[in-house]
Amino acid sequence: MLPLRLTRPKRQIILTSTLLTAFLLCIVSSANSRPLATKSGWGADLAITTGYSQNQSQFNVDDDNRVTQDLTNSGKETSEALVFPLARVDYTLEDLKTQFFVGNSRENVGKGEFQIEFGATHQFQDNSKLTLAYFPELPFIGETWKDPYLTGQAREKTDETAQGGRIELRNIGGSLLDIQYAFADSTIDNELSGSNLAYLSDLDRSQLHRDAIYQRLSADHLVPLSGKFFLKPGLLYTRANAKGDANSSDEYAFRLQMIYRESRHFLTGSATYGHLEAKATNPVFNQREKTDRISLFALYKYQKPFNMEDWSLLAIGFLGETDSNINFYNRSGLGIGIGASYEWR
């Protein structure tokens, strides 16, 4: 969900952010040569969405998941209905080559990533685009457990904050290749991981510290198969440098996006597979974590319903699964949703 998917506790696909991301794809054009805007001045993309999600994770801070009886399970399954508004506002200079924006960047959400950003994009003569952006806070990183390994009694919540930035060069030299570097700094207010496990030493507990710097390098290449159908494969490398080595990790992932567009219809889907390995042995489980994850989602968008200009209807579906050699870190999720969007230019 951010340019960097945080490792623990928000590692891998978080269902809610993925749903939001998929909804935001309704404002994304997948053609790299798309101009920043058709006219100068202000513009906005607005959406209202509703959906249903179901997920299972030990790091879900839902009250139903507050108590875990042991550390050999992946938490309780929870579900919720979601209703939320989304927005992006931008301003394009008269030469149509430079645009300032606040909200969700089009080039980022198309990769399945979501955050509110303050940034700017410049388009060069060869149609390549440079984006610089800062995100003051990452979504859905607001709370986590003080000590996720506490058993038999209610776990307490604490605040988690994260901020960062990214730089991306798209359509490099007209080659349809995109490269992005991003980073995020994550901090836990009250870090008490392992404090209730008497068999851990102070050194062991220090290995569980979750404050971390995350860095990601990614490359994607658009492959036009016809005027209507595109593929966009991508490779991603994410490095987590945490205060606790058990939470430091390297992840390699492959993503394949499909885009189909015809008349008023727009369909996109993506599949992502990633493999993560922790730097050191987790002293709680006496194992070094190794995790595989896979996620699938699809979005269908219908433009100008009932001949209403600038409006679109959309529907999405999502499925995600994380499989770890440590059962505590297994997670799964699915979701469906519908929404409507409005584009003002």
Tell me which residue of 83, 38, 33, 77 sits closest to 58, measured CA to CA.
77
Tell me which residue of 147, 137, 232, 144 sits closest to 198, measured CA to CA.
147
CA torsion 183-105-84-140 (nearest 10°) is 0
40 within domain boundaries: yes
**What are the tens digits of pLDDT across the range 93-119?**
999 999 999 986 554 444 445 568 899
200 within domain boundaries: yes
6 within domain boundaries: no
Query: Has residue 12 got a pLDDT over 50?
Result: no
DSSP for residue 275? E
169 within domain boundaries: yes
Q: What is the 3-state secondary structure (H, E, C) of 124-160?
A: CCCCCEEEEEEECCCCCCCEEECCCCCCCCCCCEEEE
Mean pLDDT, rounded, of the chain:
87
Distance CA 59, CA 140 (A): 12
16-30, 80-94, 123-137, 153-167: least confident range = 16-30
The overall pTM is greater than 0.85 = yes
Query: Has residue 136 got a pLDDT over 90?
Result: no
Mean pLDDT of 203-218: 96
Distance CA 107, CA 168 (A): 9
Q: What percent of the chain has pLDDT over 70?
A: 86
Query: Has residue 13 got a pLDDT over 60?
Result: no
Total domains in the fold of the chain: 1
68 within domain boundaries: yes
Mean pLDDT of 199-205: 97
Query: Has residue 290 got a pLDDT over 70?
Result: yes
Domain residue limits at 31: 15-344
Mean pLDDT of 203-209: 97
CATH number for the domain that contains residue 187: 2.40.160
5 within domain boundaries: no
Distance CA 152, CA 150 (A): 7
129 within domain boundaries: yes
45 within domain boundaries: yes
Mean pLDDT of 205-216: 96
Strands 229-242 and 212-221: antiparallel
**What are the tens digits of pLDDT across the range 30-55?**
445 567 888 999 999 988 889 999 99
The structure tokens listed for 163 are: 């901020």
Strands 223-224 and 177-188: unpaired
